[in-house]
Amino acid sequence: MENIVNPYIAGNPVFGDNFYGRRQDLQKVLDSQHKLILFLATRRMGKTSFCHQIKYLCKKEDHYKHNLCLLWNLQGVRSTDQAKRRLLQFSNKEVLSKIDWNEVEKLTACNEIIRLLCSTYRNSSNERKNILLLIDEPEVFIHFSKIEVDFLADLKETFDSITNLRVVIVSPPRIRQLSYLDHAPSLLEHFQTYFLREFDNEDAKSLIWLDQQKIENPIHFLENNNSLADEIIKVSNKIPFYIQQICGNIFDAHPVLRLTQVIESIIEQQTFSPFFTSDFSELHPIQKIILLNLVNSSEPKESQHLINLTKNVAPIIAGQIPTLKYIDELVSLGILKKNDHNKYHFSNSLFDRWILRDFDNLWNRTMNEINIKKNFDRKIYPPGCLKKKDLIEMKAKLESFRDGLKSMYDEYSDGKLTPEFYFKSRLSMIREHELLLKHFQDHLSAYGIDLLSKVLRLVKQEKCDENLVIENLKKAAELGHAQGWGEIILKIIRDESMSETQMAIEATFEVAIYVIENN
């Protein structure tokens, strides 16, 4: 064993012969017609390796050579200047060799460089390939959107308008905060979303055994050792990084230590703690409480039991009511699993043990986070949701707002106002009533009526997509039938005298009153 270099690669991105699994996920990108794709995954799930493998296949496999890959790796980036440099640093050499660098010097925005890269390729090649932009670890977009007002709007317009450009974003779940920013358009709105999850058993065993024929010196103590492989799979939850780390430790320790001793050593050294800390911190407060309650109970729990335990801590957390969707997402992220008795347990025993080990600290930090959010909410609107008296007090303001919108819309319909003047005036009036709309948006989110809250975000955008407003109102009506307020929205949609903005505001107010009276 002394002459064999440890073949397990933990932490660095891999591709080609060193890449294992992900066949179906790769097909979702390479064999798909979707223009915009988002993959969500927790830390150390192999996101960067996944991007590098896509780029590798596009260069090496004839079947995929109709794609030209541009990799935009944003790991560690802190400024838009760095982001621009990364776009060029990891870009396709074929494109970079033909680029006009004098033009690059003049460009100040990331979207402008994307446009330049695409146009350079299009103008210099007779081939008509799809340009596949792979964006790795783009959570920094959240920061950029706050310091550059037009950053997200410019990116969105670029993604939508370049016909042969396809975009694949691979990111931790935190990126979805972009969907909740009132000051920016929803960049992710039209993205097809998938989850990059743990390996299946076959791929996990291939990685454990490293497809023995691929390596010069077979690792005999692991080869076809099914019982050991099954133990590693159970402990690692088939997450590639954990498999590599555990197998690497076994390789170095063999034959001195057994698997249980290796695991205890990993836990004692807190090898995975930074990754678990990061994964936990990016979860919604409701999900943190769910996990802490599950650890504290020390046995699998049914979904409703977990939700009730969470509601006992706080009936409304960060403006949201605990519901099954938060548990479903923990399953999609590979953090929880459901057993044959429809009870939930941790997928990864290492994560479970890490939470248990640091339980008091995690619980206190989560409680502080909830209290901070509550205090912040009180400064803007009554905590959690509005009371009926609050809505009644706002009714006069709302009616004045609606009358102003209707009068403006009627003049626009009669041709008395130009489209440009109408849309500018409409946006100005909406911004004057920003706080009023904020009340209703948070109120609806508190009741879990996210679609109507989304509709309000749409009408607050400068270029309001009216068809999208109607589409989301109809979806909200479908969901609302079971709760009794679906017909309220449908009645409003049928009123042809209203603009889409009026419909959105009218529906918001009427449903807000209804849920208060019936809850």
Closest C-alpha among 330, 324, 299 to residue 310: 324
Residue 16 bridge partners (DSSP): none
92: which DSSP letter? -
Confirm if 412 and 419 have CB atoms less than 8 A apart.
Answer: yes
- pLDDT value of position 218: 46
Calculate ∠ Cα 41-50-86, nearest 5°. Answer: 95
- pLDDT value of position 489: 83
- pLDDT value of position 50: 95
Query: How many CB atoms lie under 10 A from the CB of residue 216?
Result: 7
- pLDDT value of position 382: 34
The whole-angstrom separation of Cα 118 and Cα 98 is: 11
Q: Which contiguous run of DSSP H or E holds residue 36?
A: strand 36-40
- pLDDT value of position 52: 93
499: which DSSP letter? -
- pLDDT value of position 380: 31
Q: Going residue by residue through the chain, which has 519 residues, state the pLDDT in tens, using 9 for 90 and above.
A: 455 677 787 778 899 988 999 999 999 999 888 899 999 998 889 999 999 999 999 888 877 778 888 899 998 888 888 898 888 876 667 677 777 777 777 888 889 888 888 888 777 666 677 889 999 999 999 888 878 878 888 899 999 999 889 999 999 888 887 866 555 557 888 899 999 999 999 999 888 887 654 445 445 555 556 777 888 888 888 989 888 888 888 777 765 556 777 777 777 677 788 888 888 988 888 899 999 989 877 788 898 888 888 877 766 665 567 788 889 989 988 899 999 999 999 988 888 888 988 888 898 888 887 765 443 333 333 334 555 556 666 666 666 777 777 777 788 788 877 877 777 777 777 766 666 666 666 666 665 566 666 676 666 666 667 778 788 788 877 777 766 777 888 888 887 777 777 787 777 777 776 766 665
b/e for 460-479, b at 16 or more Cβ within 10 A? Answer: bbeebeeebbeebbeebbeb
Q: Any idea which residue has 């390596």 for tokens?
A: 215
- pLDDT value of position 147: 82
Residue 276 bridge partners (DSSP): none
